[in-house]
Structures are given as C-alpha cells and as structure tokens.
Amino acid sequence: MGATAAAGQRCASVPGGAVVTALERLGLTALHRLEPETAHKAALMALRAGLTPLPGLVTSERLRCTVAGLSMANPVGLAAGFDKNAQALSPLSRAGFGFIEVGAVTPRPQPGNPRPRLFRLAEDRAVINRFGFNNEGMETVAQRLANRPRNAVIGLNLGANKDSADRAEDFARVLAHCGRHLDFATVNVSSPNTEKLRDLQGAEALAQLLRGVMEARGGLPRPIPVFLKIAPDLSDGELSEIADVARASGLSGIIATNTTLDRDGLHGPHAQEKGGLSGAPLFGKSTRVLARLSQLTAGEMPLIGVGGVASPEQAYEKIRAGASAVQLYSALVYEGLSLVERIARGLDGLLERDGFANVADAVGTGRDAWI
C-alpha cells in the first residue's frame, strides 16, 4: 500500500521539505496507478532501497511514554499488515514510529486468498483487504527478526494457519519460535479473512488459547508483553467477556480494533468487496469500542487504539478515549510515510496546548464522550 508518498507538508526538521513533499506527491500518484498489492510491494522495495526520506527519531518530553513496560519515543505505532514478513525493519525504525508491529505470521508459510484481495476506496479514504494471513512463515521471519535494529520497539502479530488442526496451538508455536527476538507480541483472533478465526474471541475458546500463549511466553529467555487484538464488530456483552478473560489471563493489554465487516455509507465501485474494511470509516466505531474497553477495564490495562487514524487530532482523540498509544496503516496509502512525523509532532502540540506534561496524563480524559 503506497507508503512512500504523501500529500501535505513535510515537517521542518527534514532538510529540503518542499522538495520532499513534491517527490512524495509524485510517488503517490505513480503508486496509485498500480494495482494495490503491486503498489504495496513497490513501497516496501523503495523503503529497503533507501528511496524514501525518513525523519529518524521523533520524540519530546511530552511524547515519551511507557506502555506495558515498553519505553517508547512516542505513542504512534505502525499496525500489523504493512510489513508482514519483517522485510523493512531497518528503514521503518527510522520512519518516526514509536513502535512497529510486523506480521501476521503463521507457523507454516501460506499464500493467502486469491488475488485480487486488496482494494482502495479513495472516495472513502478506506481500504478493503482479504489477504488471509499470507506470509512466509515463522522460520523465515524469525531469521529476519534475529537481525533487527536494537534501537526500536518491535513486535509480532501472531496468526494461525488456515488448514491447521489446532489453530489455538499455532499462536503459541509462533511465539515460542520468534519470541526471543521481540519486544512484544499480539494475539490476532480478529481478522475476518480466515474462516471461523473470530470464533476464537468467545470467552471459553479465548481463555484456552491464551493459556497456551502465556505458557509459551514463560519459556522465553525474558518475558515480553502480550496483547490481544479484537474486532470492532463485538456486542457490549462480548466486550465485557473479553475484558474479563484478558484480566484473568494476565494479558499486558488490548489492541482495539482490527478491521470491520460493516459497509454502511461507503461509495465507489469496490464498496461491497468481501474482506475487512479499514481507514476513515472505521474511526468512530473503533473509538467507541476503545472507550468502552477503557471503562470495562477501569484504566487498569493499557489499550492501543487503531482504526482510522489519519491526523494528529484523531490520534489525540483515541488517546483521550482511553488509548495509551495508537497505531496506523491505511492512512499511509493516501498520506504517505511522512504522515507519521506529522501526527507525532502535531500530537505534541495538542498536548502542549491543553496543558499536559506527558501523553500519559491525557489518556482517558475524553472517554465519556464516546460511551
């Protein structure tokens, strides 16, 4: 998904900002002429080749934070899905993110669903994907993670093979194999693109799955935080059950949310494609789930807000709804990688405007408006 190009202004900290903006716009135009999955691969290639200007560390006293024991330069992270196979860890560590999540990764390599399986909805600033956990498998990804940059916070989204006889065990296997190279891991039972995967969000099945994952974590050289990524299409009762299971299982936090199956209010020729919808239309729904989880957990469990974040104001809204940190991905398709620095620096300005000494002080201060 074309993350090498952006519309908008480049922060002044990058030399030649006007030129960079023009280059990003040209790159975005070129990438959007390609089939979306081809454009995504081209964006990764450009990153690895050093063709994308990168700001390096973006931080301040207000932005520095600790989430589930992870020390972050800022609370703006990259969501799973962009770098599925951990191919661009070095350049991504210099792109301004406070933390990076790669994957999802399954025990065995799998091709995923047939193409086409990625669709831009430009009118809605959205994306629909039905990839189906396509990845190169834990053996290959673990080798790349072993050579990861050490000055970045890097996590892995754990997945299960489509044809696995025991999907719950798959999550634990990936963690056991890759965990020594990670700063955190995420249990992904919320992708809508693997048949019946979301069934694992039920209280009993989820508790059993998490027991296996936490046992695998106990066998690592050092314990790492484990998060659970949930769907936005859950009832209030289901959210309550998940919050209870998360606490009982010893999870470090919850990521809210994955993509949605809703199609309300969409426009354009691809609006009814099957798969998970992400981007701007998801912002309200995912933020309401985030706020409700914050209420259910009484602020005792770190939450990461993801879904439709495309501006400093939206990142700030997620934080005020209860998120200790945020993630983005789909907005990069339309705004480019320079969006990361714009959000981080803009968030810093919003915190200063409202008198917060640190981002942690703003967490949950606007939650009631979403409940």
Task: Tell me: is residue 196 an annotated ligand-binding position.
Answer: no
SS3 content of the chain, % helix, strand, coil (to 5): 40, 15, 45
Is position 329 annotated in a ligand binding site? yes
Q: Which has the closest alpha carbon to 119: 221, 16, 266, 10?
A: 266
Task: Look up residue 225 and give its two tokens.
Answer: 């935080």
Question: Does the annotation list 126 as a binding residue?
Answer: no
Rounded Cα–Cα distance for residues 18 and 24 (Å)? 10
- Asked if residue 80 belongs to a known ligand binding site, the reply is yes
Whether residue 46 is annotated as binding a ligand: the answer is: no
Residue 165 annotated as binding site: no
The C-alpha atoms of residue 154 and residue 61 are separated, in whole angstroms, by 21
Parallel, antiparallel, or unpaired: how do β-strands 99-105 and 118-121 relate?
A: unpaired
Cα–Cα distance list, 170 to 111, 198, 209, 221, 368 (Å): 17, 15, 9, 20, 38
201-226 as b/e: b if 16+ CB within 10 A: bbeeebeebbebbbebbeebeeebbb
Q: Is 133 annotated as a binding residue?
A: yes
132 in a labelled binding site: yes
Determine whether the annotation assigns residue 82 to a binding site. yes
Q: 77 in helix, strand or coil?
A: strand
Measured CA distances, 221 to 155, 217, 224 (Å): 16, 9, 9
Does the annotation list 227 as a binding residue?
no
Q: 152 a known binding residue?
A: no
Q: Which residue type occupies 183? A: D
Annotated binding residue at 258?
A: yes
Report whether 308 belongs to an annotated binding site.
yes
Is 330 annotated in some ligand binding site?
yes
Q: Show which residues are catalytic.
A: 191
- Nearest Cα neighbor of 254 from 294, 224, 227 is 227
> Is 285 labeled as ligand-binding?
no
Burial class (CB in 10 A: 0-12, 13-18, 19+), 265: exposed
The binding site comprises 80-84, 104, 129-133, 157, 188, 193, 229, 257-259, 279, 308, 329-330
The binding site for substrate comprises 84, 129-133, 188, 193, 258-259
The binding site for FMN comprises 80-84, 104, 157, 188, 229, 257, 279, 308, 329-330
